[in-house]
Amino acid sequence: MQDWQWLKTQQEGQFFDRKSCYDRSGRRPKRRPAREVARDVAESLSAMANADGGTLAVGIEDDGTPTGVDYPPDRLEVILRAPKRLVNPPLKADYRWVELDGVRVLVFEVDWSPEVHQLTDGRYLYRHNDQNLPFPARDIEALKRSRRQALTEGQFVSGASIDDLDLELIRDVGQKVGLSMSPEEVLLHYRLAEHQNGRLRLT
């Protein structure tokens, strides 16, 4: 069984983002409209798909506190359908429910996509560090073209998995070069692994 506690402690960055379902700008927190959360989901996932892929946890505050995703079924459907309804071409994003500290959070995972994805409001976004930045479509396509070429030239290592590696050593290497990332993210950063069909494969 996978341990999802890292969702609370992982720093937001190139491959990871958190979104809260609550507006805390007033005196009391209030639940955000589902359409706003859906827009956040579409923005982060399209930006990640246009870059290197990643994970989005919905229902966790910026400080890592799980506060949950609590909407009636019809409003929840608005959020779950966001990757397909608010992005062109529609995104293939997996999602799962994870229980943390007694509340349910929604975890989306999206792979790098060979296609350039556009939000239905006309924007193109690209994930850079912990931001979803507006980016010209032609520049995203150029980056994807070079990525496709690298994938064509590279090969997956048959039978090898991340369990075969010394993850602490990889983490140390990342920290020495200033990358505050998980071992998986370090491997992705250096193109030593790729997301394929929802799992990490070593190259």
Domain 5-152 top-level CATH class: alpha beta
Per-residue pLDDT of the chain (203 residues; tens, 9 = 90+): 568 899 999 999 999 999 999 999 989 999 999 999 999 999 999 999 999 899 999 999 999 999 999 999 999 999 999 999 999 999 999 999 999 999 999 999 999 898 999 999 999 999 999 999 999 999 999 988 887 776 655 677 777 878 888 888 888 877 776 667 788 887 777 778 877 666 777 77
Looking at residue 153, its pLDDT comes to: 58
Q: Which helix (H) or strand (E) holds 176?
A: helix 167-176
Map residue 95 onto helix, strand or coil: strand
pLDDT digits (tens, 9 = 90+) for 106-119: 999 999 898 999 99
Domain coordinates in residue numbering, the chain: 5-152, 162-202
The answer to whether residues 107 and 95 touch, using CB atoms and an 8 Å cutoff, is yes
Rounded to two decimals, the pTM is 0.76
Question: Tokens 């589902």 identify what position?
Answer: 34
- Tokens for 60, please give them: 């966790």
Residue among 140, 129, 196, 201 nearest 165 (CA): 201
pLDDT digits (tens, 9 = 90+) for 29-44: 999 999 999 999 999 9
Give the Cβ contact number of residue 107 at 10 Å.
18
